[in-house]
Amino acid sequence: MARAGGRMRMSETTTKRAARAPMPAAPEAEIEEASPGGVQSLARAFAILEEVARHRDGIGLSDLCRKVGLHSSTTFHLIKTMVSLGYVRQLPDSKRYRLGRPVFMLAAQSLDEVEMVSVATPFLEELSALTDESAIFAVRMNEHLAILARSCGTGPFQAADHGGAARPLHTTAAGKVLLAGMTAERFEAYLRRAEWQARTPRSITSPEALRAEIMEVRRSGMAIENGEYWPEVHAIAVGVHDFTARLVGAVSLSGPLWRQSADVVAERAALLRETAGRISQQFGYSAADHSGC
């Protein structure tokens, strides 16, 4: 009996110790599947999103599972949810996954003026160094053009606009670019509110004249200012785009009219297009992704 009792007491002790022993941790995927609504699911969803972002040509489900280290069913359910929300899209031909438009829209909304200035300024300085003329980066502020950043050339007779300067949109090359990017309704509203003051003999002074000018800007993809605000100033401008192909600003070169021959204008227009494209790339724009825009 004692032995039996001893064995019984030993068995009870062993049982109690076993009860206090910690359970082995469940595999990562099993935890995910056991608590799909937890914080861990959110962290893994972001891990998937970040991995998709690393592959501009898209990534397949099996490669995605391997990269993030999750079970295929877990990965599939999480990315299926992101596809339904639009944050990830599945390419119809290859079935690969790519980032969706809402991700770019969120990123574009966080692009503030301070960041724009820091990105654009080195390009403006490069333009000025190559041309000896003034270069600006400007955005639309209601009915006016606001110059956020400016770089001066080393040549004489530099244009007088400075950072923070605001001018009516239709009086500037950069402003015309921004007008050309407006919807028809917004452009017509601008025409109704604009002040048609003639500052120089070349100023645009009627809605009809501006409509014709903006049609040409849309056709050519660039705008020219020809002594319309300052009598002796000539400027060329090209648009800058963001993640969503939205027109967010314009880059412009300006100098005295007498320095602008047809050959110089053509050369600088090409230089501006190339520079505006590089700035747009810094803002996340991809011409290949928006070839239909």
High-pLDDT (> 90) share of the chain, %: 55
Q: What is the pTM of this model?
A: 0.64
- pLDDT for 31 equals 37
- Read off the pLDDT of each residue in 211-239 and give the average, rounded to a whole number: 95
123 burial (CB, 10 Å; 0-12 / 13-18 / 19+) is: buried
pLDDT score of 57: 84
Contact between residue 176 and residue 214 where contact means Cβ atoms under 8 Å apart: yes
What is d(CA 186, CA 162) in angstroms, rounded to the nearest whole number? 27
Name the H helices within 71-134.
Answer: 72-85, 101-109, 113-131
What pLDDT, on a 0 to 100 scale, did the predictor assign at position 108? 58
Residue ranges in the chain assigned as alpha helix (H): 2-20, 28-34, 39-53, 61-68, 72-85, 101-109, 113-131, 173-180, 184-193, 207-220, 262-282
More confident residue, 4 or 59: 59
CATH class, range 108-282 = alpha beta
Range with the poorest average pLDDT among 89-93, 156-160, 229-233? 156-160
Q: Give the per-residue pLDDT at 130.
A: 94
CATH code: domain 25-99 is 1.10.10.10
Domain range list for the chain: 25-99, 108-282
Task: Count how many Cα atoms sit within 13 Å of the Cα of residue 106 in the half-sphere of its side chain.
Answer: 7
For residues 267 and 271, give the distance between their C-alpha atoms in angstroms, rounded to a whole number. 6
Q: Cα–Cα distance between 287 and 167 in angstroms, integer? A: 30
Most confident of 9-23, 154-168, 239-253: 239-253
Which range, of 222-226, 240-244, 249-253, 288-292, averages the lowest pLDDT?
288-292
pLDDT at 64: 95
Q: For residue 225, what are the β-bridge partners? A: 235
- Residues constituting the chain: 293
Per-residue pLDDT tens digits for 18-58: 333 333 333 444 434 444 455 888 999 999 999 998 887 89
Summary mean pLDDT of the chain: 82
Same CATH topology for 25-99 and 108-282: the answer is: no
